[in-house]
């Protein structure tokens, strides 16, 4: 397993800020402004107790709606607070030993972005007309602007930036420099990374590594060969959507062969990603909560055991550790159920047993180098039972799973040593083995 400084031992907590603080859906300037982001300060002791040592924040910079329609890369979203509020939060998190990763939304901007507003006003005479992809004046768009432009997936509220333009690159890199200098961030999650020009990512990597050698760049990739983006020249990591799907569907279908195939394909002896440190998750701000898509809630503990023992970097989406539900809908409001406002009281009103279980998993992972750095070894796989090991030097952590509603005899051999035990229904266990 490739070592990547602090990231190997990171336990991520993912917060979508505008949802977490229950911010107004539409930014109306002073009318909707408030220091809501400081609400996260109240959660720091809870996060520390849970064992979290890194946070990934969704969009925090000025936008009109959901955060991915950036209007100003140099200003905190006024619905969340001021730049000083964000700076205070980051300072307190870092003081508590929690690393900070922000969302880097560089593929597109919102229509409120200053340079685009200049194009709306001055049209062909705007000095910013080359900041955006495929502007064609004299053609119609849904907003009646009198010109067309490239969008993200046909959404005309999201205007694609021209990342081949040196002025655009300079604007974005200076923003990242300001984020690092002002907020002392440790990395970026790159939104819509499959749409972003690779050469821009290479420049971003060179620039950020020059500022902080252990700065982490992780791209949002849903399909494709992860090696295209995660390599020595481009990004450090990507989202592991392949295993996200396998985590829940292998339980729903009572077919551990699915997730076993994915893990072996990725991390086995000939695994295509065995040298990568992928970002693993059970759910996030774009997909239904795992508690809503598992057919049997009893499988939640097994799923989280797998998340914290498989290769890669584990991440919890806020609230899922106490069993929050939420199904992705349709239309403009599709993601709202996935991004609810929460209160500190929710931490003790939800599934406290699940929270404590995840806390134990994190504590175990923190103490076992094999779970950070160990090679992946498949030991046994059946439809309803699964065993794999993570091996580092002379120590292995062996994870055993039973998704059946009946006891399962787990008789297996590892390193020529025979093991015989019974796993209760819907249960998992992690054994430590020393040569």
pLDDT digits (tens, 9 = 90+) for 375-401: 999 999 999 999 999 999 999 999 999
What secondary structure letter does DSSP report for 66? S
What does the alpha-carbon distance between residue 277 and residue 312 come to, in Å, rounded to a whole number?
5
Token code pair at residue 87: 């700076």
What does the alpha-carbon distance between residue 154 and residue 52 come to, in Å, rounded to a whole number?
37
pLDDT digits (tens, 9 = 90+) for 167-197: 999 999 999 999 999 999 999 999 999 999 9
Q: Which residue is it, tokens 């890194």?
A: 54
Beta bridge partners of 54: 12, 99
Average pLDDT, the chain: 97
Work out the average pLDDT over 54-69.
Answer: 98
Work out the average pLDDT over 418-427.
Answer: 98
- Residue 51: how many other CB atoms lie within 10 Å: 17
- Does this model's pTM top 0.95? My answer is yes
pLDDT at 1 over 90: no
Residue 332's pLDDT is 84
Query: Which CATH code, of 3.20.20.80, 1.10.579.10, 3.40.50.300, 3.40.309.10, is assigned to 5-372?
Result: 3.20.20.80
The angle that helices 241-252 and 256-267 make with each other, rounded to 10 degrees, is 160
Give the phi and the psi of residue 88 in degrees, each rounded to 5.
-60, -45
Spans of all domains in the chain? 5-372
Instruction: Give rounded-to-5 percent helix, strand, coil for the chain.
Output: 40, 25, 35
What does the alpha-carbon distance between residue 290 and residue 299 come to, in Å, rounded to a whole number?
10
Q: Which of 113, 126, 262 is nearest to 175 (CA)?
A: 113
pLDDT digits (tens, 9 = 90+) for 253-306: 999 999 999 999 999 999 999 999 999 999 999 999 999 999 999 999 999 999
Q: Which of 269, 254, 275, 230 is nearest to 373 (CA)?
A: 275
What does the alpha-carbon distance between residue 226 and residue 235 come to, in Å, rounded to a whole number?
10
pLDDT at 163 over 90: yes
What secondary structure letter does DSSP report for 405? S
How does residue 4 score in pLDDT terms, banded at 50, 70 and 90?
A: low
3-state class of 314 per DSSP?
strand
């Amino acid at each position: 397993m490739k070592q990547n400084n602090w990231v190997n031992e990171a336990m991520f907590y993912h917060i979508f800020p505008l949802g977490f603080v229950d911010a107004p859906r539409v930014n109306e300037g002073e009318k909707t402004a408030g220091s809501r982001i400081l609400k996260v300060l109240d959660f720091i002791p809870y996060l520390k107790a849970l064992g979290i040592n890194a946070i990934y924040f969704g969009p925090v910079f000025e936008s009109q709606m959901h955060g991915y329609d950036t209007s100003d890369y140099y200003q905190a979203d006024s619905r969340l607070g001021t730049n000083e509020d964000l700076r205070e939060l980051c300072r307190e998190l870092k003081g508590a030993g929690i690393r900070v990763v922000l969302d880097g939304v560089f593929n597109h901007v919102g229509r409120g972005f200053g340079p685009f507003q200049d194009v709306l006003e001055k049209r062909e005479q705007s000095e910013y007309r080359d900041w955006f992809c495929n502007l064609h004046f004299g053609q119609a768009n849904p907003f009646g602007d009198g010109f067309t432009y490239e969008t993200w997936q046909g959404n005309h509220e999201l205007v694609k930036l021209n990342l081949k333009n040196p002025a655009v690159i300079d604007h974005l890199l200076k923003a990242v420099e300001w984020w690092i200098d002002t907020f002392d961030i440790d990395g970026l999650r790159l939104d819509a990374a499959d749409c972003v020009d690779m050469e821009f990512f290479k420049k971003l990597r060179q620039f950020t590594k020059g500022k902080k050698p252990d700065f982490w760049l992780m791209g949002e990739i849903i399909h494709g060969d992860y090696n295209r983006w995660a390599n020595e020249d481009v990004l450090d990591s990507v989202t592991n959507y392949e295993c996200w799907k396998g985590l829940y569907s292998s339980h729903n279908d009572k077919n551990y062969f699915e997730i076993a195939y994915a893990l072996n394909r990725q991390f086995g002896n000939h695994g295509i990603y065995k040298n990568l440190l992928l970002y693993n998750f059970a759910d996030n701000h774009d997909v239904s909560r795992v508690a809503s898509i598992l057919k049997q809630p009893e499988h939640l503990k097994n799923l989280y055991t797998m998340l914290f023992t498989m290769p890669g970097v584990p991440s919890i989406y806020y609230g899922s550790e106490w069993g929050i539900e939420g199904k992705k809908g349709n239309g403009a409001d599709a993601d709202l159920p996935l991004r609810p406002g929460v209160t500190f009281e929710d931490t003790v009103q939800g599934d406290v047993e699940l929270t404590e279980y995840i806390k134990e998993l994190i504590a175990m992972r923190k103490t076992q180098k094999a779970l950070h750095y160990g090679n992946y070894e498949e030991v046994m796989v059946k439809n309803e039972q699964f065993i794999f090991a993570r091996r580092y030097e002379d120590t292995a952590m062996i994870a055993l799973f039973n998704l059946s509603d009946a006891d399962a005899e787990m008789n297996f051999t590892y390193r020529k040593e025979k093991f015989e035990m019974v796993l209760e229904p819907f249960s998992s266990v992690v054994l430590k083995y020393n040569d």
